[in-house]
Structure 1
Amino acid sequence: MTAYHSAQNGPEAAVAALLRCPVCGQTVRLDRRSIVCPARHTFDLSKHGYINLLTRPARAKYDKRLFQSRRAVLLGGLYDPLHELAAAKILQSCGGKSPILLLDAGSGEGSHLARIRGKIAAETGHAIRGVGIDLAKEGVEMAARSYPELLWCVGDLARSPLGAGCFDAVLNILSPANYEEFSRLLAPGGIVLKVIPEPDYLIELRRLLQPDADRPVTAGSRAKAHFRERFARVDEDRLRCRVRLDRPLLPHLAAMTPLSWQAGEEALQRIAELDQLEVTIDLAVLIGRKAD
């Protein structure tokens, strides 16, 4: 967190502007290596640079191995088309503003936010600030180690430790959502960018891991309907393309998704022995705006 704060004219101003006490909702200040509110609720900064703002222990669904594999596949380029599209959509909505402040809600190991932020910064030359929040401590720790220029929080979106009206764009990529909270966090004119899997998303991997994977995926239509109920104006794009991954990334591709949890060793070994695999990226990218 040191690099993030030094770029924002001092740590106290940056923290006070973005964070709220998750216990009482008051603003906070940085007191050496702790975040403290006026009621003296105190949360320590990790030696790795993230803030744990959970009020009680929580068990995350994903472990360190999954995040490591997801990092490898992300850096290998699987989601580059998504990052290009997301950056373009954010620029279309917020491009004239500087700085732009992004929140990744369900940030995992941090690479989605870091790469989207990097593309926007390269395009505009503007300051792009970013905050990631996730329930999984292992993912947030990896993010803080790899991207210290961003602010990373372990926290619960149902009781968000973030201030109202701060963010120009909230990213929610293949992750559970809390739209009431997202609306509270948006700055005037801000957007929520929600990514939902379409029926052919990673279909090649699903066929290898689960023989019955040809059954249509129906959860996406329900997620879209729910999104449209929550925002006054919604735009939707379909991103569909094929990306080739070479052999070193294929075990990571299998391990990065819960699809592998029920797969047998024989299926996992078949994937590991392939020279390469073309996989389908099939995603809906929804942009939601609050009513004026």
Structure 2
Amino acid sequence: MDKSDVTLERMRSFVRVAERGSLSAVARELGIGQSTVTRHLRELEEAVGVPLLSRTTRRVTLTDEGSRYYANCIQVLRLVEQAGDEARGTRGAPAGTIRVSCTAALGVLHISRLIFAFQDRYPDIGIDLSLTDERIDLVREGIDIALRLGPLSDSSMKLRALGESRRVLVAAPHYLSVRGLPLSPSDLAAHEGIRMSNIAGSDRLALRTMDGRHVSIPFGGRLRVDHGLAAREALAAGRGIAPAHQWLVDDLIEAGRLIPLLQDYSLPPVPLNMLIVPERAGIARVRLLADFLVGQIGAIPGIEKAKA
């Protein structure tokens, strides 16, 4: 084989295997057989003349030569995709697929609707929406854009601050009719708390008074959940009191199914950020979606949009 056998198809297979470390995962992602992925890699290595990957029974890793080749492949594939975007742009029809990851409950209740509106505007753009509260490796999972609540530690991604998510302490009227209405933070000790098991420090509740003083109190209860929609259901079912994002319960409050509590106190807001994989940031359709979400995010109840 010679250099003419270095095809984009083989290069894409190599890049995804390098990122995911698994031939079977890449085969599922690309919708092809694992034997085809294996063939792509073998043919690419034969064409470039050096081993690019080291295979074990558990994982596939890059050789030193493979690491250098991977970095160059990323640049080549980005240029190819950008060239296609520019060519399509001449006829005013952005196309292709964007892979989006989002905090689960926010994605179900609100972001999915924004994506519907985006696709109505750009009908040739496909969206793969992945909903998870896990902090996944965006590059390895092939994600272009991620929306995340809470503090972030990954400085390798391009970050755009979207705003802050306000929270409110709530409970159902029928729960309060049995257990009583808390009038001060100390009253919460006699109540059932609904806690998030996947959030550190959920065994304490931080509140701020109207004059700026901070209050931290123990917050316990028999029910812990790891999904925002489960907390929403538990609140509506009268299982206890919980601090909830306003976007999670705004409709239940409006319908009278939940009641805000201790309104002389406030809960600290949670930052909402957009992460963009740097190698994907220059692609036209990714930029379009990123700008669209920035413009529309303030329509979500309780999201205070970041100042430009």
TM-score of the aligned structures, taking structure 1 as reference length: 0.33
Q: Which has the larger radius of gyration?
A: 2
Instruction: Say which structure, 1 or 2, has more relative contact order (CA 8 Å, 6+ apart).
Output: 2
